Each structure stands twice: as C-alpha cells, then as structure tokens.
Structure 1
C-alpha cells in the first residue's frame, strides 16, 4: 500500500486565509465601491488585525491584483465551458451575451477588469495572464467562425463594450442597450461577410 502524499497544512491554511481576504474585499467593493476597499476594512470584516494582513498581502494593490486575477480566471473558465451554437451569428451573439451577463451581474468586478478605476493600480503579469488567455481563446473561436482578421475581433469587442458601457451608465438593471445586441451582431456580421440568417429576423 502506497503512502499518502504529505500535505502542507500550513500552506493550505495560508491559501484559505488569502481566499477569505479576497472574498471580503469583493464584498466591500460590491457594497461600497472598489475605492472603499482598505486593509483596515478587510481586516475588520474577517476579524483580523490590519498588520496581520501584511503577512498575506503587502499592500491594498496586492489585494486588487488577486481580485483581478481571480475574476479573469473565472471568466476564462466559463468561456472554456461555453457550448456555442454552430451558426456563426448565433455564436457571436452567445459570446456577447455571456460577456454582458458576466459584467452586469457584478458591476464592481466589471469596473476592476475593464476600467481604470483604481488610480495607480496596474495588474501583475501573473494576474493579467488569464485575460490574455481570454483574448487568445476568442481569436481561436473567431478563426473557427471565419473571422480571422484580428482588427475585426477588436471591432467586435469595441461594439460590445460600447453597448455595455451605455447600459451600465444609463440604465443599470435594465435592458435598453442589451436588446440592441442582435442588431449590432448582424451589422458586424454583414461587415465581415458572415452568412445569415439575420438574428433580427429570427427573434
């Protein structure tokens, strides 16, 4: 009988504490905004003294960095699990709708990932890596759908991002701009020469 591998219980406890700190930071950000995340507030929420946090994160920006990496990793995992329709236009719409849903359900997360909302915060290479993988996966999907030009992928992201910004800024919780997605995807698909049928006519 083989012996069970040794567990590093100290490392496990340390990682669990780091997750608890990051979860507390998200709770504060969702309740009071990203700028409200402070070492003191996070420590108070988890019953830890502020100086003790420094053994896990050496600054507030280090906490933001962990949040950034965690959130992009979650989005990447969701993208990998997404079962896209075979029709190119339907697939593009599914990608856009997933991005909208991920963003609208957690505005603080969207702000951290897609806006320069924290002065002086620049994500580390490790935290930024999942977002690079997201773009790589998007490019692979676009290649498969028949849209190999990276400038076209940039345009798609800009169109979706613009609609999303308008939705969040002007009607949070509503769907005024979300309802425009089929129309915008059709316009994009017509521009890059993707076959139909039109999304607008099928909805």
Structure 2
C-alpha cells in the first residue's frame, strides 16, 4: 500500500465554497451596506444560481450569522496580536486597548455595524457565532479588573464612551480623524473619574516661599 490520506476533499471543497460565498457577501456589504446585500447578487458574484446558495447556508440570516462570527473571531485574533503584552501601567494599558478597538472598528464600517448595531431585522446570532463576542467581553472585564477597574458599571461606561466616539467618527468624519484625536483625552477623563492613577504622581511643590 502506497499510503493513504486523511483529507476529506469533499469537505474541503464545501468549506472553500462557503468561504467564497462569505467573501462575496462582505464585498457587497462594504459596497451597499450590511442590510443591502441580496442572495441574488451574492450568487451572481460566485457564479451560481441563487437556489444553490441554500446548499451551503439555510437562509440569508445564516449568512449574516457566519459573517458575525467572522467579525468577532477576526477581532479576537487581532487583540491577541496587538495587546500581548499590555503595558504595565493601567492608564497606558487602557489607552492601548481603546486605540486598538477604535482603529479596528473604523477600518471597516460594515464589519463594525454588524458586530455592534442591530440593523438587520430578525437577526440574532446563534450561540456558536456569539461565543467569540462573549469571550472578548469576558477577557475585557478580566483585564480591566486586573488594572484596578473592579466595578462593572465603570467598565460599561467605558464601553459606551468608546462606542460613541466610534459612531461619531463613522457618521460625521468618515476617513478623517476628528474623533480619533479625542480618544486619549476621553479615556483620561474616564480614568480620572474612576480614580485610576496617572503615570507620574502629582507632587506637591517643594519650593519655599521667599522671605520678605
């Protein structure tokens, strides 16, 4: 016997076709918006008839579900590269976390919209597709706890602040940096309110007053 292979070529081809369909869906989402993609246009892009898509995805919502998982898995991998290791000082670490998420988000508005906005009627991610988002959130809570942010409300405020800046950037200055430039200042305002120390403690003046 010359040897055997454990490769399942049928499964590999099927997975490659699913990937091609998802890539076509992403291209459309970036051209016409997440809510504007159609099965007809996706099928035409990959060179098949629309009914053939159902051999790979049960519905249009199933395509959205796979795209949602794609998005959070991509961010999870991105975080592993960009935030390991974190700076040791809490303020530096939080600034970096904010910058990494902000830049990842504004780099692909369609992806960010699917990850964080409810713009698709009837769409709820399945538990399997939602799992990466849960892992990212849990990692964030754990990381902030290690940095001294132990009140979950403080973490929620930070997430809301960051999301608001991203939304403002995408809505009012797409491709620019108007709100990007405010990120560090906003992060420091939040850190000040939460009592997170500055890198250099403010020291009382040691200068003596001149005698008359």
Q: Using structure 1 for the length normalisation, give the TM-score.
A: 0.92
Q: Secondary structure at the match of 1:54?
A: helix
Shift of 1:119: 1.2
Question: Which of 88, 91, 96 is residue 89 of structure 1 equivalent to?
Answer: 91
Residue equivalent to 1:49: 49
Could you tell me which residue of structure 2 aligns to residue 171 of structure 1?
173
Aligned-partner Cα distance in 2 for 1:191–1:78: 29
Q: Does 1:144 align with 2:162?
A: no
Max radius of gyration: which structure?
2
Aligned residues: 196
When the two chains are superposed, the root-mean-square deviation of aligned CA atoms in Å is: 1.3
Deviating above 3 A after TM superposition, structure 1's stretches of 4 or more consecutive aligned residues are none
**Partner residue, 1:160:** 162
Q: Report what 2:205 is aligned to.
A: none
| 2:33 paired with 1:33 | yes
Q: Deviation digits for residues 112-161 of structure 1, max 9, x if unmatched?
A: 11111111111111111100000011012112211122111111101111
Q: Distance in 2 between matches of 1:189 and 1:39?
A: 46
Per the alignment, residue 15 of structure 2 pairs with 15
Q: d(CA) in 1 for partners of 2:74 and 2:110?
A: 15
Paired residue secondary structure (2:55) = coil
Shift of 1:7: 1.2
**2:209 alignment counterpart:** none
Q: How do 1:44-193 and structure 2 match up within 5 A? A: 44-81=44-81, 82-83=83-84, 84-193=86-195
Secondary structure at 2:78 match in 1: helix
Following superposition, the deviation at residue 5 of structure 1 comes to 5.2
String of CA shifts for 1:54-92, please: whole Å, max 9, x gaps.
000011111000000011011011112223221111111
1:24 paired to 2:30: no
Q: 1:94 to 1:4 in 2, by over 3 A?
A: farther
Per the alignment, residue 206 of structure 2 pairs with: none
Q: After alignment, is 172-181 or 189-198 more displaced?
A: 189-198
User: Gapped runs of 5+ residues in structure 1?
Assistant: 199-203
Q: Which moved more, 1:61-70 or 1:170-179?
A: 170-179
| Counterpart residue number, 1:201 | none
SS in 1 for 2:175: coil
Distance in structure 2 (CA, Å) of the matches to 1:163 and 1:107: 13
CA distance in 2, matches of 1:190, 1:17: 51
What 5-or-longer segments of structure 2 have no aligned partner?
201-212
Offset of residue 4 of structure 1: 5.8
